[in-house]
Amino acid sequence: MALPVAFFALFFAWPVAAIVARGLKADGAWRWGRLADVVTQPDIRHVLWFTTWQALASTALTLLCALPAAYVFARLDFPGRQVLRAVVTVPFVLPTVVAGSAFLALVGHGGLLDDLWGVRLDTTVWAILLAHVFFNYAVVVRTVGGLWSQLDPRQEEAARMLGASPFGAWRKVTLPALAPAVAAAALMVFLFCFTSFGIVQILGGPTFSTLEVEIYRQTSEVFDLSTAAVLTLVQFAAVGPILAVHAWTVRRRESALRLVDPAVTARRPRGAGQWALLALVLGTVALLLVLPLAVLVQRSLDAPHFGYYRALADADGGTFLVAPVHAVWASLQYAVAATAIAVVIGALAAAALARRDAGRLVRGFDALLMLPLGVSAVTVGFGFLIALDKPPLDLRQSWIVVPLAQALVGAPFVVRTMLPVLRAVDVRLREAAAVLGASPWRVWREVDLPMVRRALLVAAGFAFAVSLGEFGATVFIARPDNPTLPVAVARLLSRPGDLNYGQAMALSTILMVVCAAALLLLERLRTDRTGEF
């Protein structure tokens, strides 16, 4: 635990504490009265209210749309099932900037709906809610469907033989077993929507603002660190209990009985009802997930002879100090470095948490590992500039500062992927190897590593995709002559002109293709014992 604790203390707790102290301290004294002053402001109260209710609405809408798909993937076997599973997961690993760009191409000015029917939704709350469903659909499908596929269907069949109705058997047998997974998925979706930044920044315009967007505005536009610090504390106070409950539900889900191999629970659809449900899920995936991405690609090809893509190699547009295509190479370099860091930190933390003799303090670190997903990434990024500006850690001009920030987001995914597999390793195998004279390092190399190798590769893939799309912190610390892809897309979208818009669509498409390729590779590596999100 020493290295993970030191990493999170140095590169997460310290930057966040630094920006909070900078905002709430004046002349060496803490100004706690500033908390009440900020929270009682009408515009801040409006931001808090919108952040909360849109997160609740997005969570409910995501569950409504995705739970039928979780059943379909868990219980039905049909041609193209694995490919469709990968397609469903693509939006989750896409950067939120790309998700926002895809819906902007669909519902914004000059988008598909605007061209066909003159309908624009880019400044309405519906665009934000639908984009959140698009982004979080896979969270429910993978989390709930992963457990559902491992529940023995014969238990529900036995209840029906004893006289229960189909709904009654599902409500009394299956639903209680699924409850931890449903709760974990709902909490994770709520967390992502509550801290939403890229999607709201692009689709909300000046009308809608979440806490994350308001923190960014107060920090980078108004330069009011005091208000930004208060909002960071408010977000932390809201996210902390959510993460604690989420950690508890995850432990309940991991301890659930897994009686059968998921490969034997899926059957060909039988009856009109199952075929109709499959058709409904396929239609939802096509309209809600595939269509926005297809429109994104189509908009990037509007210029003849791949004009928008060729313009990416031109540095004369004035938006960047270098050609926009340079962001592709820079992002890949950053993501590889961030993946290496996240895998080392996450694997060590997962190994410590998986030990059956781990103390309560170590188990409590499980919830703390998720904090970077819930605390403002904007605060972390700006905190890097404030805290890491003096020797021996003056990293403001160092390239490593970007991978460090990205690894903070990637490490929790590594832990969540590897932890179930490590906990499934029979401790008696380790004990037998130790009795035969193997050192602890050899026990890990000969016993644990062969069992977790695939999970480790899957974890690395997810960390790579997540690092590639990190935006909230990177927007502050990426240098103008070395921007990442999400930062480049956001800058292009913020400038008027068809060329800038087309280049943003082209860069978003490139980012989508890279993430999708990484995900398809993960699906080939994935085993049913690896973690689900």
DSSP assignment letter at 25: E
CA angle, residues 444, 446, 450, in degrees to nearest 5: 90
Q: What is the pTM of this model?
A: 0.82
CB atoms within 10 A of CB 497: 11
DSSP assignment letter at 267: B
For residue 287, CA distances in Å to 15, 166, 405 come to: 41, 30, 34
User: Which of left, alpha, beta for 92 (phi over 0: left; psi -120 to 50: alpha)?
Assistant: alpha
Cis status, amide bond into 15, omega within 30 of 0: no
Closest Cα to residue 137, out of 191, 169, 92?
92
Going by their DSSP bridges, the two strands 25-26 and 29-30 should be labelled as antiparallel
Identify the residue whose tokens are 């905190």.
383
Question: pLDDT at position 511, please?
Answer: 84
DSSP annotation string for 70-106:
HHHHHHB--TTHHHHHHHHHHHHHS-HHHHHHHHHHH
Instruction: Say if residues 186 and 132 touch (Cβ distance below 8 Å).
Output: no
DSSP annotation string for 310-364:
HHTT--TTSS-SS-TTHHHHHHHHHHHHHHHHHHHHHHHHHHHHH-TT--HHHHH
Q: Give the C-alpha separation, 169 to 172, whole Å.
A: 5
Closest Cα to residue 99, out of 68, 71, 138, 44?
138
Q: 3-class SS at 236?
A: helix
Instruction: Say if residues 139 and 163 touch (Cβ distance below 8 Å).
Output: no
Q: Give the C-alpha separation, 59 to 187, whole Å.
A: 8
| pLDDT, tens digit only, all 533 positions of the chain | 889 999 999 999 898 888 888 778 766 677 777 778 888 888 889 999 999 999 999 999 999 999 999 988 888 888 888 778 878 888 887 778 888 888 888 887 777 777 777 767 766 788 899 999 998 998 888 888 877 877 777 777 788 788 877 778 777 877 888 888 888 888 889 988 998 888 888 888 777 888 888 888 888 788 888 888 888 888 888 887 887 777 777 666 555 544 455 555 667 888 788 889 999 999 999 998 999 889 888 889 988 888 889 888 886 655 667 788 888 888 899 999 999 999 999 988 888 887 766 666 666 677 677 778 777 788 888 888 888 877 777 787 788 899 999 999 889 888 877 877 777 777 788 788 888 888 888 887 787 777 777 778 878 887 888 888 888 788 888 887 888 888 888 888 888 888 888 888 898 888 888 877 777 776 666 544 444 44
Q: Give the C-alpha separation, 530 to 419, whole Å.
A: 9
393-396: long-range contacts (C-beta < 8 A, 24 or more apart)?
Answer: 393/10, 396/477
What's the one-letter identity of residue 321? L
CA angle, residues 62, 65, 66, in degrees to nearest 5: 80
Instruction: Specify the DSSP element, H or E, that contains 428.
Output: helix 427-435
Burial class (CB in 10 A: 0-12, 13-18, 19+), 212: buried
Q: Give the C-alpha separation, 181 to 184, whole Å.
A: 5
Beta bridge partners of 10: none
Structure tokens at 303: 């210029």
Q: Give the C-alpha separation, 110 to 114, whole Å.
A: 6
Instruction: Specify the DSSP element, H or E, that contains 450.
Output: helix 449-469
CA angle, residues 314, 317, 322, in degrees to nearest 5: 55
Q: Give the C-alpha separation, 138 to 86, whole Å.
A: 9
Q: 3-class SS at 29?
A: strand
Beta bridge partners of 29: 26
Q: Give the C-alpha separation, 14 to 7, whole Å.
A: 10
Cβ neighbors of 352 (< 8 A, separation 6 or more) are 1, 4, 358, 362, 365
User: Which of left, alpha, beta for 241 (phi over 0: left; psi -120 to 50: alpha)?
Assistant: alpha
Instruction: Say if residues 116 and 310 touch (Cβ distance below 8 Å).
Output: no
Identify the residue whose tokens are 């280049």.
503
Instruction: Specify the DSSP element, H or E, that contains 26.
Output: strand 25-26
CA angle, residues 231, 233, 236, in degrees to nearest 5: 110
Q: Give the C-alpha separation, 129 to 148, whole Å.
A: 26
DSSP assignment letter at 305: G
